[in-house]
Structure 1
């Protein structure tokens, strides 16, 4: 389960921890919520009635006779109505409840049948007039070179809000390509058109493209179950739940089901188009529905959206509702496209930009000089005008990405861009207390020798890498003395309510420091015993997680602070680590309160390179034998890093390496030496690949991660125990995708091999078990997801492997010779006996997490 979980200050209600997008198991029940298994096995025969063709779904008016009506239009720009299951009767638009299914005729029809519905006699189904099908608007290609994209002609009605059909067109284009160039071009042209023709739709578009509704630290939770969406599709399309199930079995995607289900639906009167702002506003209404009747209200909103959706809108609307839009637009791509869009198309309401003086904007004269790209462009661009535009692109991208990682809030960024343009962005959206910045990430090393080779004599400090939860602590005391404290996780989620003891500690820090007004600390929250000894992450994960009261805390924690990014109104991230470390240690001394169970504040245990290599190696061995995960090696001063491409005959080059705090970068100024990274540490397992998920980012064309299983010798079953996405080369990925081609004899969307038990894992595809891989891991952990070895160590939980890494394919072994649950349980007991219970996740959520997946996702975003 990935730690990465990709959020607007628009909602006034309290935020909850964001829900993970529906997994495959919930999608598998997506369209079966209202149908019992018995009913699916033995469906009732349809009554023929007047229609003789049971394959056609009749379209007929439901309810009272038709009369002129004026549907009410809400503030979002969408029709406020409820639709009957099989036909949209304009007189029923304001009815509070949709009409129920008709019993006078069959409702089921083949999922992909096209053409107008017919009755058995071929006569119209109603005497109210002809039904109509409104075709989706035509838009130009969005994947073309943005410099050549023509905005001279409005893409929708002048001065009208941006239609959702345009965004659906963009999402459709994105879903059809894996080319990064095409993705960036499509996003750039989409945002250019929105900025030019309706800039108020820019913010909702960014959230909808990023599959979110608000910043990650103030998440707005949709709270939609699959049954709400499936019922809305069923009501709007007129299909039975069995027909929807057949559609889902054929397509495997709820958005595709909605598209096919609505493909034959006709309406008596065309509906006003959905708007981008309207769809986003409706999603906020769903998220903010509370109390009695909330489910009914959510159902009504989803129903109205689907009634008004046309063509591709249905597909991507349902994918958005199910929080899985399936396009290759990661955050970095969106920010890149936003920067390029602003370079080419600054907001119209700004004063005439001085494009000559701006390092980001381009003039019309310069654009006119850019030559069209050839059909087969060469690797090197020789067009001087285009090179100048590309330079502007690079400068704008660097600015927007820098602002975003320090202040990840689209609301604030878009407001500043529309008010002052890209030139005024950094001044209006600075790093601020209360808004988490993306943390600096460490680069993994395999040995101390590799560390010394990389840093080439630059002074460093080695620090214990504690096995806890990374926390970013924000605190500010206003002029009235009111103190505000916020805690954020590694992935910027607000976890303040989890740690009231930490809040109490910070209050003590301010009460004992009258000159202190604000700070941002980077720290690790670690479970400790009464004597200060370290406890495992597993014990930290047993603390309550929501609405925790101070008197309920039974597991004490220590805040091991290792960096400070902000202090008393001063931004410190541009200072070298030596200076930041000095401020941290002088301004925030260790604190141990006398109250039982109170949180503590301390500095990470460390060792300087000036102490000599022998001291550093001894310090490393202490880390290996302790409850720590390893070491973090951090440069104290700006230095240089040695670069030499493998196989290159050129001499090694030295590249400047700043010791600044680099948000969201995996920098060589921070090197991560973990116990599981060191060659030769830990036993290996022989596991069988039994499934996989579609990759993300750079790995989108491959299977990643892969689900691995043990074999139970008594039953012959294969039992899934962990996901793996580390240790593979690109060559291996390609070969694996060929070996496990989708819908081949080795790969299926459905579980065809019954002797495989996946437990809590729900892969996107299932593999035919026929080969064995050798896997090395860091530690064995109790897992709420895996059922491997359940009952051998714990009655309620199975065992899983932390940080699994592929070593090689065991061609000399068959699945019958794979490792067994007894062998895994023995490894776990040996680990416990050595005091190496690392049972939990690293640096993030208190759940069973595959950190190799999180690390690779970070790499993809970079």
Structure 2
């Protein structure tokens, strides 16, 4: 198949809000693919090419840009092969070869294909084909039940491979896809609620469990072989030898555990999130040890537990790893749920997850059986600068530089503003247009990518907390910051202070 056909389909999908229209367009494309193209195309359609990022930056893409081809001739397989070559070309002297591969690729592409290729290489691809929509399209194209396709994709962790099996295999082969120890499955996800009591109303009797501020892990053990995967199904076994040793000591032969890992201080309290992630992301063993806490078990000694109720899975988990079971209580009383939530916060954790006690483990799904509850903080901060956007935000000012008021001059000039982070999250198209015009009106200077402005615009920002950071003068950075609204009713002198934000740091 020509790559242009796939590109045109992604444009059609991105241009409509109709889920049915998206599914129809994607299914029509999937039916016309050659078998070898199916996994590649599914990866591109979901903005997750099977090679991942291949180490090509904006400057390399810009340098490779050529006059577009007059007629389409690139195929999906041609593009896949080029990505393979880019991924494999590394080491001394590889720069020239990678540049040549890019130039050849771009010269063979039409203008729409060039934009698509750049989006893939830079990780800025927006296709409008969320995995749920694409899963429905695979079912439509293959004439298989959507539940069968969804379950196979979840248990294999591979939508592209599932699409190939659904389209080219038999119904029995699709149904035979099951849980395999050593092969990660997509993790079950949680909805959100404003309070533990409200969450309990949605679930009924539930296990109310601490929500830890750590890294999600899925641990597979078969005999003495232990593998550890992230929530994105990446293998990080070599980074967590302490967890491997612990799981090898559990009284089982085969097991799949779901949980979190985090760094603890000398008193057993959680260390700041960035310390966990620094250690979690290290290929070399560090001094900081990560402690695992498990909240679910999916398989034990030949017995799959996905379709068994949470109550059964908790009993098994308490028997297998009682010392590493995440804290929580089973209750139908909203007052008890709120108490557990307050206990979790007092212990330095994020909040709680409320889980229906009779629920099955719905791999990869975000339903109403698991509900997370954690406080969201909002603060009024001042815009100090704004960076020009890229991709679909090209030509608009997007990424905000945010500052907190420093009335006493503890980190600079008295009454000045201390930068505490950046965000481009939560900005609607309307806000993007407004701030692009507004910030150029109050511009004081600019660099190639950033417009610096008078510190007079107050914006309400929602955050999950702050973390220690040497990047900014105040020693903190915002966590998961997103724009709520601009506060034209507030003067910059009414913004929240750096001292208020620093008080969120855990002791």
What TM-score bracket applies, with the shorter chain setting the length? 0.7 to 0.9
Deviations 1:314-339 (A, max 9, x none): 33233333333333222222222222
Deviations 1:669-722 (A, max 9, x none): 222222x14xxxx674344496599999xx99xx99974622668597795724
1:620 pairs with 341, 349, 352, which one? 341
1:306 & 1:695 partners in 2: Cα distance?
A: 19
Q: Return the offset for 1:614.
A: 5.4
Determine if the alignment matches structure 1 residue 666 to structure 2 residue 366.
yes
1:340 & 1:694 partners in 2: Cα distance?
A: 37
Please give the TM-score of this superposition, normalised by the length of structure 2. 0.84
Closer, same or farther: CA 779–179 of 1 in aligned 2, 3 Å: same
- Corresponding residue for 2:477? 799
Q: How does 1:224-239 map to 2 (within 5 A)?
A: 224-233=56-65, 237=66
Q: Return the offset for 1:298.
A: 1.8
Q: Is the 8 A contact 2:383 2:453 kept in 1?
A: no
Aligned residue for 2:234, secondary structure, equals coil
Deviations 1:413-454 (A, max 9, x none): 244235423453121x22222222222222222224323433
Closer, same or farther: CA 756–224 of 1 in aligned 2, 3 Å: same
1:229 & 1:494 partners in 2: Cα distance?
A: 30
Closer, same or farther: CA 486–685 of 1 in aligned 2, 3 Å: same
2:328 pairs with 580, 583, 606, which one? 606
1:401 pairs with 139, 146, 150, which one? 150
2:462 & 2:173 partners in 1: Cα distance?
A: 50
Q: Return the offset for 1:725.
A: 4.9
- Corresponding residue for 1:519? 255
Q: Is the 8 A contact 1:720 1:757 kept in 2?
A: no
- Corresponding residue for 2:409? none
Closer, same or farther: CA 587–799 of 1 in aligned 2, 3 Å: closer
Q: Is the 8 A contact 1:690 1:720 kept in 2?
A: no
Closer, same or farther: CA 289–521 of 1 in aligned 2, 3 Å: same
1:321 & 1:775 partners in 2: Cα distance?
A: 31
- Corresponding residue for 1:496? 237
Q: How does 1:623-638 map to 2 (within 5 A)?
A: 623-637=344-358
- Corresponding residue for 1:433? 181
Q: Which moved more, 1:519-528 or 1:575-584?
A: 519-528
RMSD: 3.9
Closer, same or farther: CA 536–737 of 1 in aligned 2, 3 Å: closer
1:310 & 1:738 partners in 2: Cα distance?
A: 32
2:488 & 2:106 partners in 1: Cα distance?
A: 52
Q: Is the 8 A contact 1:719 1:758 kept in 2?
A: no
Determine if the alignment matches structure 1 residue 812 to structure 2 residue 489.
yes
2:303 & 2:181 partners in 1: Cα distance?
A: 11
Closer, same or farther: CA 328–695 of 1 in aligned 2, 3 Å: farther
Q: Is the 8 A contact 1:462 1:608 kept in 2?
A: yes
Q: Which moved more, 1:528-537 or 1:489-498?
A: 528-537
1:802 & 1:228 partners in 2: Cα distance?
A: 30
Structure 1 alignment gaps of length 5 or more: 1-161, 238-260, 344-359, 361-395, 478-482, 591-601, 638-658, 727-732, 838-862
Aligned residues: 498
1:685 pairs with 358, 361, 380, which one? 380
Please give the TM-score of this superposition, normalised by the length of structure 1. 0.52
1:183 & 1:672 partners in 2: Cα distance?
A: 30
- Corresponding residue for 2:275? 539
2:353 & 2:68 partners in 1: Cα distance?
A: 55
Deviations 1:555-581 (A, max 9, x none): 222211110011122221111000011
Q: Return the offset for 1:189.
A: 1.6
2:221 pairs with 457, 475, 485, which one? 475
Q: Is the 8 A contact 2:422 2:481 kept in 1?
A: no
The structure whose residues are more often strand, as a share, is 2
Q: Is the 8 A contact 2:273 2:467 kept in 1?
A: no
2:31 & 2:298 partners in 1: Cα distance?
A: 35
- Corresponding residue for 1:212? 48
Deviations 1:261-289 (A, max 9, x none): 436x8xxxx9x932221221221121122
Q: Return the offset for 1:780.
A: 2.3
Determine if the alignment matches structure 1 residue 421 to structure 2 residue 421.
no
1:801 & 1:545 partners in 2: Cα distance?
A: 18
Q: Return the offset for 1:661.
A: 1.0
- Corresponding residue for 1:565? 298
Q: Larger C-alpha radius of gyration, 1 or 2?
A: 1
2:434 & 2:120 partners in 1: Cα distance?
A: 25
1:723 & 1:558 partners in 2: Cα distance?
A: 31
Q: Is the 8 A contact 1:289 1:297 kept in 2?
A: yes
2:244 & 2:20 partners in 1: Cα distance?
A: 47
The structure whose residues are more often helix, as a share, is 2
Q: Return the offset for 1:476.
A: 1.5
- Corresponding residue for 1:451? 199
Q: Which moved more, 1:769-778 or 1:619-628?
A: 769-778
2:401 & 2:466 partners in 1: Cα distance?
A: 14
1:447 & 1:554 partners in 2: Cα distance?
A: 37
